[in-house]
Structure 1
């Protein structure tokens, strides 16, 4: 699916389910990893996760589009557009949008720890996303020295 097709799909869904036109830009954001889409408050544009569409298909994308259009239309009307607002929950249920999108395991695995440390004395294992200074940090359990495993 190209950007033009996505724009057309969002405009059609907006008119059919909400009865209101979508007057801004809809696009794929290839840097999104953990979310299906997002509504940009300042520009009123919508961004969608390409990998999510590629993995789960058009039905999941339509649910995400409905979710983001709820944010869009409620914000422009001056109503409660946030997830916890009653207006948002009511409109989302009315149009049949997704409250949560499916979890993309591929994106989740990339954010898991890449550095693994082990205490020399007690053997406790620490998994971290960021590298730590072994001269500065010690084991939180026994105050022993740490050693990098991976």
Structure 2
């Protein structure tokens, strides 16, 4: 499915469930990983995660589209469009949208690179140790335990 098909799909859902046309842009955004979609307040555009379609199918994405259209229509009508607003919750329930999107399988999530600790700050008075990933100036800080002077040491990274 491409952006043009998504645009037509959202326009159809908007007319069918809300009775109001969707007059802005809709597109897929492959960078969306922790959310199913998002609505932009300034441009009124909607972005949908293609990973949700791939992982959970069209039914789940339709619920996400309804969720984003609730934000869209309520915001344009200057009504309560935020998640906490009663109007939003009521409209979402009426159209059958999802409150939360299903989580992606771990195979679709990006791998996080874990940085090793490279530095250690050690208190000269009490011996308290603070490990850090980035270099910092020990003269600007004091020990949190005894307010003693800190010394910077480079750790061996394996």
Q: Please, what TM-score do these two structures have when normalized by structure 1?
A: 0.77
Matches within 5 A, 1:65-80: 65-80=65-80
Confirm or deny that 1:5 pairs with 2:5.
yes
> For the aligned residues, what is the CA RMSD?
3.3
Paired with 1:53 and 1:115, the residues of 2 have a C-alpha distance of 32
| Residue matched to 1:58 | 58
Q: How many Å apart are 1:107 and its aligned residue?
A: 5.5
Q: Who is 1:30 aligned against?
A: 30
Q: Given that residues 74 and 88 in structure 1 are in contact (C-alpha distance below 8 angstroms), is that contact kept between their aligned partners in structure 2?
A: yes
- Give the conservation status (yes or no) of the 8 Å contact 2:118–2:157: yes
Shift in Å at residue 29 of structure 1?
1.3
Q: Match of 1:133? A: 135
Gaps of 5+ in 1: 121-125
Q: Would you say the 8 A contact 2:118–2:134 is kept in 1?
A: no
2:100 is paired with a residue whose SS is coil
Structure 2 spans left out of the alignment, 5+ residues: 121-130
Per the TM alignment, residue 40 of structure 1 is displaced from its structure 2 partner at its CA by: 0.6
Displacement after TM superposition at 1:56 (Å): 1.5
Give the C-alpha shift of residue 53 in structure 1: 1.6
- 1:117, 1:149 within 8 Å by CA — same for their partners in 2? yes
CA contact (8 A) 2:119 2:135 kept: no
Aligned to 1:123: none
What is the deviation of 1:103?
A: 1.5
Q: CA deviation at 1:115?
A: 1.8
Tell me the TM-score normalized by structure 2.
0.74
1:76-107 CA-to-partner distances (Å, cap 9, x unmatched) read 11100000001000000111101000112345
Residue 32 of structure 1 and its aligned partner are, at CA, apart by: 1.7
Count residues with an aligned counterpart: 145
- Which structure has the larger Rg? 2
Q: Which residue of 1 aligns with 2:103?
A: 103
